[in-house]
Amino acid sequence: MSSGDIRRIDDNAKLLGITPIQLMENAGKAVAEVIEKEIGNVKGRHIAVICGLGNNGGDGFVTARHLASKGAHVTVILLGRHDKIRTREALHNWKILEGMELSVKLHEVESVAGIKDYEGEITNADAVVDAIFGIGFKGQVGEPYRTAIEIMNRGRGLKIAIDVPSGINADTGEVGGIAFKADITVTFHAAKIGFKKAEEYVGKLVVKDIGIPEEAEYLVGLHEVRKVIGTRSPLSKKGDNGRVLVIGGSKLYSGAPALAGMAALRCGTDIVIIMAPRSVASIIKSFSPSLIVWPLRSEDYLRVEDVNDVLNVVEKFDCIIIGPGLGLNEETKEAVREIIESVKKPIIIDADALKAIKGSLDIISGQKVILTPHAGEFNILTGVDVSNKAWKEKMEIVKDFSSKYEVITLLKGKIDIVSDGREVRLNYTGNASMTVGGTGDTLTGIIASLVSKGNDLFLSACIGAFLNGLAGEIASGEKIYITPLDLIEAIPSAIRKIIQDRLILPSKVYENLVLK
């Protein structure tokens, strides 16, 4: 796994109620158990733990405590001052060590001369534990860390690295000038992708489970959301923050395209234009003065005669939505297929357009396409009824479909499933208030807005599901029953909470968790 994957999973563990301090405790205990297994009874053995100021150091503090509790003579050398420890969890575990004066010797060093004062304790120890840098290390090792690693490498005892040998880039395996040369690396949850290149520094690799549930690998969480949601550049001008074209509406349905367009605007897209049949164009325009509506040639339904007009303007837009409210007129279906086959821009296929491509899925293969079916529409598309399938089976079905056609699929439901054919994500935000018609249209608009700003399609689908569900939860917290318009009006509140780092998610899985 990459360092980004690990950070995402750690964040998602928080969403599931597993605190960072729990993970730190489990990690340090796991390292202590490996050391005890390797050198036998640790009672009376001398162990040096060299720690940095971050969470890797915190893992080292926990390791030291567990070894000391078994009778080891433990020396902890902190490379820096304890008041500079960077996380609450690491500082908490340092404070515990401060109360263990009988069993743990604590030293704080800030210089090369300082670390050299303890050279004998390090080189003569029965085991040397490296807890300096974790997965976040990049670049070159500076002082006093460089000298510390040089001394640690000369140690005669067992050399153990916590998570990643210090000085190694966990993603590339590159050495930052110098690196700890471990006999054993105890890493957590999964091997890091840079280890293969850095085998001579990793030594024997031991992967330890520290209590992160499988669900944490799949959740859409704040790690992804914060990559995308943010304030716009003060130098931006009209159009820089996305242009979305919505192709939708018919004489029977006028609300769906308007909802998609309004959601895209509320999510920060600069320009949204709706192309709709003439009979409903003025109705759609009446929903909001912010919507620009271009009437099609046809009166009541999208027809083949409208295709060229659509294709003549699509290059002006960053993302295309097709489907909301189009209806199932046979000629409309034919027009939809022609447009989808011809458009090379990112395109979100929703609602009636999903039904139009049944039996013609080859036209979407390998294109920049996001499909947003619910279980019934997925059944129409594929002939597979996922409504009663177990979650893991559903996930595999969505993944296999996405892989086969090289598209992004967002299967809407109580828990949304998103896949690009390689990865799968689950979105838990949202609640039963969102069964009201039109919330799928708002989802499409939000995803289109994210795509229109140049974001990755898979990431946009994941975050769109998260944000749509969160807005629905916020709206339902204010009203017993909501409409899609209530959800749209809650989008800015959802974004503001994310930007200001004040997010409290009220859904069952995330209940009462303050995410920091």
Q: What are 427-466's pLDDT values in tens digits? A: 999 999 999 999 999 999 999 999 999 999 999 999 999 9
Task: Quote the pLDDT of residue 501.
Answer: 57
CATH assignment of the domain containing 229: 3.40.1190.20
Greater confidence (227 vs 435) lies with 435
> Residue 491 domain-assigned?
no
348, 274: one domain: yes
155, 237: one domain: no
Task: Quote the pLDDT of residue 480.
Answer: 87
Task: Quote the pLDDT of residue 502.
Answer: 47
> Residue 421 domain-assigned?
yes
134, 228: one domain: no
Question: How many structural domains compose the chain?
Answer: 2
Task: Quote the pLDDT of residue 227.
Answer: 80
> Residue 509 domain-assigned?
no
Pick the closest to residue 60 from 92, 103, 102, 27 (CA basis).
27
Q: Is the pLDDT of residue 503 over 50?
A: no
Distance CA 54, CA 131 (A): 9
> Residue 507 domain-assigned?
no
Task: Quote the pLDDT of residue 356.
Answer: 97
pTM for the model stands at 0.88
Structure tokens at 260: 């998609």
Task: Quote the pLDDT of residue 507.
Answer: 42
Q: Is the pLDDT of residue 509 over 90?
A: no
Q: Which domain holds residue 185?
A: 3-217
> Residue 418 domain-assigned?
yes
Residue finishing a domain among 175, 191, 217: 217
106, 237: one domain: no
Q: Is the pLDDT of residue 500 over 90?
A: no
Structure tokens at 471: 């807005």
232, 343: one domain: yes
Distance CA 367, CA 340 (A): 9
DSSP 396-442: HHHHHHHHHHT-EEEEBSSSEEEE-SS-EEEE----GGGGSTTHHHH
Contacts (Cβ under 8 Å, ≥6 apart) of 229: 463, 467, 495, 498, 499
pLDDT tens sequence across 7-63: 999 989 988 889 999 999 999 999 999 999 999 999 999 999 999 999 999 999 999
> Residue 498 domain-assigned?
no
210, 262: one domain: no
Q: Is the pLDDT of residue 156 over 80?
A: yes
Task: Quote the pLDDT of residue 516.
Answer: 29
263, 391: one domain: yes
The mean pLDDT of 79-92, rounded to a whole number, is: 97
> Residue 404 domain-assigned?
yes
CA 128 to chain centre: 35
> Residue 500 domain-assigned?
no
Task: Quote the pLDDT of residue 478.
Answer: 87
393, 310: one domain: yes
169, 46: one domain: yes
The mean pLDDT of 234-249, rounded to a whole number, is: 91
pLDDT tens sequence across 384-424: 999 999 999 999 999 999 999 999 999 999 999 999 999 99
256, 151: one domain: no
Check: CB of residue 163 under 8 Å from CB of residue 134: yes
Handedness of CA 132, 136, 137, 143 (dihedral sign): negative
